[in-house]
Amino acid sequence: MTGKIDAYIDCVSPYSYYAALYLRRNRKALESHGIEVEFHPIFLGGVNVGSGNKPPWTLPAKAAYGKFDSQRACKYFGVPPIRTPDFFPILSIMPQRCLIYIKKHYPREKYERTFLSLSEWMYHQNIDVSKPEKLAELLKSHDFTTEDIEKILAAASSPEYKQALTANTQKALDLGAYGAPWFWVRNAQGQEEPFFGSDRFAFMWQYLGLPFQDISIIEKEKAKL
Angle between helical axes of 146-155 and 93-105 (0-180°, round to 10): 120
104 Rama class: left (phi>0) / alpha (psi -120 to 50) / beta: alpha
d(CA 139, CA 121): 11
Sheet of 182-186, strand order: 35-41, 3-9, 182-186, 192-196
Indicate which residues carry an active-site annotation: 13
SS (H, E, C) 47-103: HHHHHCCCCHHHCHHHHHHHHHHHHHHHHHHCCCCCCCCCCCCCCCHHHHHHHHHHH
DSSP-derived pairing of the beta strands 3-9 and 35-41: parallel
> Which helix (H) or strand (E) segment is 8 a member of?
strand 3-9
Q: What residues does 184 pair with on adjacent strands?
A: 6, 194
